Structures are given as structure tokens and as C-alpha cells.
Structure 1
Amino acid sequence: MSHSPIASPQGLALVARIRDFCTKLPEVAEKVDGFGHTTFRVKDKPFIFIGERDTQVSTSLKTNLTTQEFLLGQDGTAYKKTPYIGQHGWVSIMNIDLVPWAEIEDLIVEGYARTAPKKLVQQLKATIS
């Protein structure tokens, strides 16, 4: 299933907002992958995928299995298990407007911490303390 590079105003605004937050994390790089997803990575390992198909924007975040289970188990949840990589704890949000931004930021930090080398995680802890 191929995604187009993000082009809708809401998709571009979301990428800009996530980029603004991710640039505060140590050594994060943004890259468009071969499927057209905008990804945010640390040491070339992704912790966020943002894709768009037919102007429907989806965001996938790396979490641990416990967090994933909690998010998927909520009544009326905006989260779903990410296809193909969900068994590794990834969750997707099809409508990010249904999720409080503070929760998104917490999930971004969790995904970063699960992906980054220990040295960068220590650096992150020093910056957010």
C-alpha cells in the first residue's frame, strides 16, 4: 500500500508541529522513506511515521507493548495497531485531533527513548529534567 508524499494543508501542518517538537530531541533526523512516509529517526532508526493517502493523514508512533495495550484498550480509542509493525508496539492514529497534544508529546518522547542509544537517552533526560 503506497502513500503519497504529504501534500494536504492539515498533513503539512502536522509534520511541521511534530518537526518543531522533535528538533528539541538529541540527534533527530527527518527523512521521507521509500513509501512516501515522512519519518523522524534517531541513528537512522524510525520512531514516528506520518503518511497520507487520499488526504487522510495517519501518524504511527513507536511504543512499548504495555503502552500499546493500554491505548488500544480505551473506550472510543483514537488508536489502532499499526499494520505490519504493530506486533512490535507501534500504534497509529488516523485522526490526531482526537488526541490531546500533551499525550502525543509523551508518546514521541517514549518512542524516541525506546529507539535511541543509551547515551542519547541520558542526554534527553538531562534536557527534560
Structure 2
Amino acid sequence: MTPLDRLRALCLALPEVTEKVSHGEPTWFVRRSFVTYADHHHDARLAFWCAAPPGVQEELVAADPERFFRPPYVGTRGWVGVRLDVEVDWDEIAELVTDAYRAVAPKRLITLLDSTG
């Protein structure tokens, strides 16, 4: 599977997620966006941008700037950019996607997520 296929599968496995194109890229929503694919969107990186809890962006970028970055537009809101054109740990990506979902999903859906494992 391509990185887009894998990312799509992770996002769509979460409760009530929809996908549509936003700003020319596949984007996943749970009432509002939580993950955007970034296929060389304004730079040379293949990546995705995702919502993150407060402080996580700074922590990840400081720990591994080769894999994580502050994305344009949404970086000021704490979102994190995650490169997909380097070696990828898909278990870690799954955690980041789930954390992004939790950052924007209504409490009812987070409860549903927790109850389904």
C-alpha cells in the first residue's frame, strides 16, 4: 500500500470520519479536520499534517526534526507535520492519528472510540 492508502485506512477506521479534498489534498474530518495529506504541498516533502494536543508539536520537532516539522497555515494552531518520505513507523503514525482525532472529536465519539478499543 502507498503511504496515502495506509494513512487513509488509519483515519477511516475511526468513528464517523469522512474524507474530502480540501485545498487540493485528501483531508479527514470528524466534524472538523484532524489530518491533511500533504503531497509536496508548498515544499518538497511527502507528509501529513495533524492536530495535536498542546505542546506536542514542539516536543516532536525538538526530538526529531528530520521526521517532524511545523506545517504552514496550521502550525500556529499546534498542528504537527509528519514526514512520509523517510523511514516510517506506522504504529507511531497510528498513535498520532488517534491523538489528532481525540484533539478535535466530540466527547461522545471519544467515548465510543474508547469503548471499542
* Common fold: TM-score over 0.5: yes
Please give the secondary structure, in 1, of the residue aligned with 2:100. helix
Shift of 1:98: 2.9
* Identity of matched residues, %: 31
Q: CA RMSD, aligned part only? A: 2.0
Corresponding position: 1:29 with 2:10: no
Please give the secondary structure, in 2, of the residue aligned with 1:98. coil
Name structure 2 gaps, 5 residues minimum. Answer: none
1:96–1:113 Cα change, 3 Å: farther
Shift of 1:20: 1.5
Greater C-alpha Rg: 1
TM-score, length basis structure 2: 0.86
Corresponding position: 1:88 with 2:88: no
Shift of 1:65: 2.5
> Out of 19, 39, 47, which is 1:58 matched to?
47
Distance of 2:90 and 2:77 partners within structure 1: 23
1:104 corresponds to which letter in structure 2?
I
1:113–1:96 Cα change, 3 Å: farther
TM-score, length basis structure 1: 0.79
- Verify the 8 A CA contact 1:38 1:50 in the aligned structure 2: yes
1:37 corresponds to which letter in structure 2?
E
Distance of 1:105 and 1:80 partners within structure 2: 18
Equivalent residue pairs, number: 115
